[in-house]
Structure 1
Amino acid sequence: MSTFVKNAWYVAAWSSEVGRHLLSRTILGEQVVLYRCEDGTPAALVDRCPHKLAPLSLGELKGDHVQCGYHGMTFDGSGVCVRIPGQQNIPPTARARSFPLIEKYNAVWIWMGDPELADTTTVIDVPHYGDAGWGLVDGQYLHFKTNYLNITDNLVDPAHTSYVHKKTIGNAAGEDVGVKVEQGDSHVLAWRWINDAPPVPLVATMANFAGKVDRWQYYYLHLPSTSYVDFGSIDAGLEPTEANKDGGFRSYSFNFLTPETESTTHYFWLHLRNYHPDDALVSDDVARLMTLTFEEDAVLLDYVQREQERTGVREYTRLGIDNAPARIRKMIERLQAKEAVSPAVHVLHPVSGATQPSTV
């Protein structure tokens, strides 16, 4: 059974990846081809010619049209066939499914579900994006060999940082500090404060605290799979107002998870910070340290995925720290159930060529 939620915005690629060439990428188990039209507008089609199912990405980009590399059938950005060499008549079934796109935050977002539900206002807001005094690292990508829900479990789990991320954002001071959980209509928040503790390695390297600090971790997961972490430190005992937090050491890490298959995930991320915002060397260090942090997760979750597949079991024991992950999985199940009864998208029948209702 699929774990995917289709009626949602996912990052398909960074803007810099999509150009005047055909880019093939697997998204939610579907092959998609992305490119830019001559006016710079991005377009996305199913990467499959309706004739013999050859990948359109093996063809050529002709102006704003994609020409199949097998028999030359040509499709516009909406998927309509505009030319069949040697044939005047174009059958109504000669079309490739297109997907709604929006470009925001230097990324191209795709909607894989019902196009009539593709509301661009529901793309998540990124605080301080483009603001003076905030440095940005973006264009980052990792490939995780695990189901995206294993990653969402991880991304609302502050407790694991004490053990998995000792070199970057965790230390022993947080081992026995509990995690609080809040739930909204479309998000879950797991958070904690670790007070009067030594700065973690990242903070010790990048900031100038004279003594101990109070550290916060706010882990948000917006359904189905966009995470951001509000992380920072202030002098121990300082009142934890928003102004004081913005005046201390603060960062926002956004993680845009796009399921590739049931066992692999595209992991796009960007990072905003209020420390040394204009220092390119610091940006390089942040990119290196955050990549190290996420790679630590990736290695561990690769093993988790393999054991889940080997045993057929997700977990044998549930702990108190699993409160937030359990809520997310239940919310995902409700979204899937809602999609199961939503209006169908029409696709080509795999044998007859006739159209039939389908939710895929």
Structure 2
Amino acid sequence: MSSFVKNAWYVAAWSGEIGRYPMARTILGENLVFWRRQDGSPAALIDRCPHKLAPLSAGSLVGDDLQCGYHGMTFNSHGQCVRIPGQIAIPPSACARPFPLLERFGAVWVWMGEPALADASQIVEVRRYGEPGWGLVDGQYLHFDCNYLNITDNLVDPAHTTYVHRNTIGNAAAEDVSVKVEQGENHVLAYRWVNDSEPVPLVKAMGNFAGQVDRWQYYYLHLPSVSCVDFGSIAANREHSEQEMDAGLRSFSYNFLTPETETTTHYFWLHLRNYQPDSTQASAQVTQLMTDTFLEDAAILALVQREQDRTGIREFVRLGIDNAPARIRRLIARRQEAEQQMAQEAVSTAPPSSSQALTA
């Protein structure tokens, strides 16, 4: 069974990736083609001509429309065929499935499920985005060779930072600090404070602390696969309040996981920080540090995926630190069950003649 949740918004691309040309990308196992209309708005169709199944991304733009590069069939952004060379009549089945899109936070988001359920309010809010005093690094992309749920496991697991990220955001001080977990209807939060400890490498590089620090890690996972890591440090023994945290060294790292296939994932990320917000040098350093951090994750998760594929088993034993990952997987399973139930009800109530329209 697929591990995907379809009725959700996923980052399809950074805004700058999509232009006046067809761009192909596989999302949730579906091949899509993206382009921008002449007014700058993005469009997306299934990347498949209904005639001989040639990829529409191998075609070209004609005004706002997309022309197949095989026989010239031309489709508008709603997926309707508007021209067949040498033929006046256009069959009703000559269509390509369109996908709802929204552009927000410098990214183009795609809704892969039932179009009528696409709700803009379901896009996660990016904290501090566009606010004065906060530096932004965006437009970042990595490709992970693992299922997206292995990454969501990782992104609500502060415990792994001690071992996987010794050179970036972790150190031995946190080895025995327990992780607390909270759960809402659409998110899971794992968090901890590591008090009176040596600053981790990132904080040493970017902060100006004279001594020990209190460090926090708040790992939010918004279903199905948007992560926000609220991370930072303040001088040891200060009050653990929002005011003190904003006055210390603080960052919000957003990771937008878009499943490509069952074993590969598009990993888009952006980073907001309150230290040296206008420094291009600091932005370059943060980009390198965070890239190194995520590549450390990518390396270990690729090995995990390889062994899971070989054995057919996800894990032999569960630990206390698996509390948050287990909650996420249960919530994902509930969403999948609800989508399957909805699909079964739609099939049972659909008139016979509507089945042809579902094949586009």
TM-score bracket relative to the smaller structure? over 0.9
Partner of 1:120: 120
Instruction: Note closer, same or farther for the CA distance 1:359–1:211 as it changes in structure 2 (3 Å cut).
Output: farther
Is the alpha carbon distance of 1:345 and 1:258 closer, same or farther for their aligned partners in structure 2, counting shifts above 3 Å?
farther
Q: Residues 274-293 of structure 1 correspond to what in structure 2 (within 5 A)?
A: 274-293=274-293
TM-score (norm 1): 0.96
Report the equivalent of 1:37.
37
Q: Partners of 1:359 and 1:157 in 2: how far apart?
A: 41
- In structure 2, the residue matched to 1:7 is 7
Partner AA of 2:146 in structure 1 = T
Equivalent residue number for residue 142 of structure 1? 142
Shift of 1:341: 1.6
Shift of 1:290: 0.1
- Alpha-carbon distance in structure 2 between the residues aligned to 1:14 and 1:215: 31
Structure 2: unaligned runs, 5 residues or longer = 348-352
1:350 is aligned to none
Structure 1 residues 218-297: aligned runs within 5 Å: 218-297=218-297
Partner SS for 2:270: strand
Looking at structure 2, the residues matched to 321 and 343 of structure 1 have their Cα atoms a distance apart, in angstroms, of 35
Amino acid of the residue matched to residue 150 of structure 1?
Answer: N
Question: Offset of 1:241 from its aligned partner?
Answer: 1.1
Structure 2 contact 44–77 (Cα < 8 Å) conserved: yes
Q: CA RMSD in A?
A: 1.7
- Write 1 or 2 for the structure with the bigger share of helix: 2
Q: In the alignment, does 2:172 pair up with 1:172?
A: yes
Q: Deviations over 1:113-170 (max 9, x none)?
A: 0000000111000111001100000000000000000000000000000000001100
Q: State the match for 1:190 in structure 2.
A: 190
Change (3 A) 1:84 1:184: same
Q: Which secondary structure state, in structure 2, belongs to the residue aligned with residue 281 of structure 1?
A: helix
SS at match of 1:96: coil
Counterpart contact for 1:224–1:332, Cα < 8 Å: yes
Residues paired across the two proteins, number: 355
Q: Which secondary structure state, in structure 1, belongs to the residue aligned with residue 306 of structure 2?
A: helix
Distance 1:3 1:202 in 2: 34
Match of 2:350 in 1: none
CA contact (8 A) 1:340 1:359 kept: no
- Cα distance in 2 for residues equivalent to 1:354 and 1:78: 18
Return 5+ residue gaps in structure 1 as ranges: 348-352
CA offsets per residue over residues 283-315 of structure 1, 9 Å max, x none?
000000000000000000000000000000000
Contact 2:252/2:273 (<8 A) preserved? yes
Q: TM-score, normalised by structure 2?
A: 0.96
Q: Answer yes or no: is the 8 Å Cα contact 1:345–1:357 preserved in 2.
A: no
Shift of residue 355, structure 1, vs aligned partner: 3.0
Q: Which string of whole-angstrom CA distances, capped at 9 and with x for unpartnered residues, describes residues 51-98 of structure 1?
A: 111000001111100000111100000100000111111111000000
Distance 1:210 1:143 in 2: 38
SS at match of 1:7: coil
Alignment CA distance shift 1:89-1:126 (3 Å) = same
Q: How far apart, in 2, do the equivalents of 1:35 and 1:342 lie?
A: 31
What is the SS of the residue equivalent to 1:44? strand
For the residues of structure 2 that align with 1:159 and 1:102, how far apart are their CA atoms?
Answer: 35
Distance in 2, matches of 1:274 and 1:96, equals: 45
Q: Quick one: distance in 2 between partners of 1:223 and 1:138?
A: 21
Partner of 2:88: 88
AA aligned to 2:259 is P
Partners of 2:45 and 2:359 lie apart in 1 by 17
Which amino acid counterpart does residue 139 of structure 1 have in structure 2?
A: G
Amino acid at match of 1:321: I
Give the distance between the partners of 2:50 and 2:165, measured in 1 at CA: 48
8 Å CA contact retained: 2:93, 2:357: no
Contact 2:28 2:260 in 1 (8 A): yes
CA distance in 2, matches of 1:209, 1:38: 51
Instruction: Return the offset for 1:195.
Output: 0.2
Answer yes or no: is the 8 Å Cα contact 2:189–2:324 preserved in 1. yes
* Distance in 2 between residues matched to 1:167 and 1:228, nearest whole Å: 21
In 2, distance between residues paired with 1:358 and 1:91? 15
State the distance in 2 between where 1:75 and 1:358 align: 17
- Structure 2 residue 111 is the aligned partner of structure 1 residue 111: yes
Q: Give per-residue Cα distances to partners, 1:6-31, cap 9 Å, x unaligned.
A: 00000000000000010000000000
Distance 1:66 1:21 in 2: 9
Equivalent residue number for residue 158 of structure 1: 158
Amino acid at match of 1:191: Y
**2:68 corresponding residue in structure 1:** 68
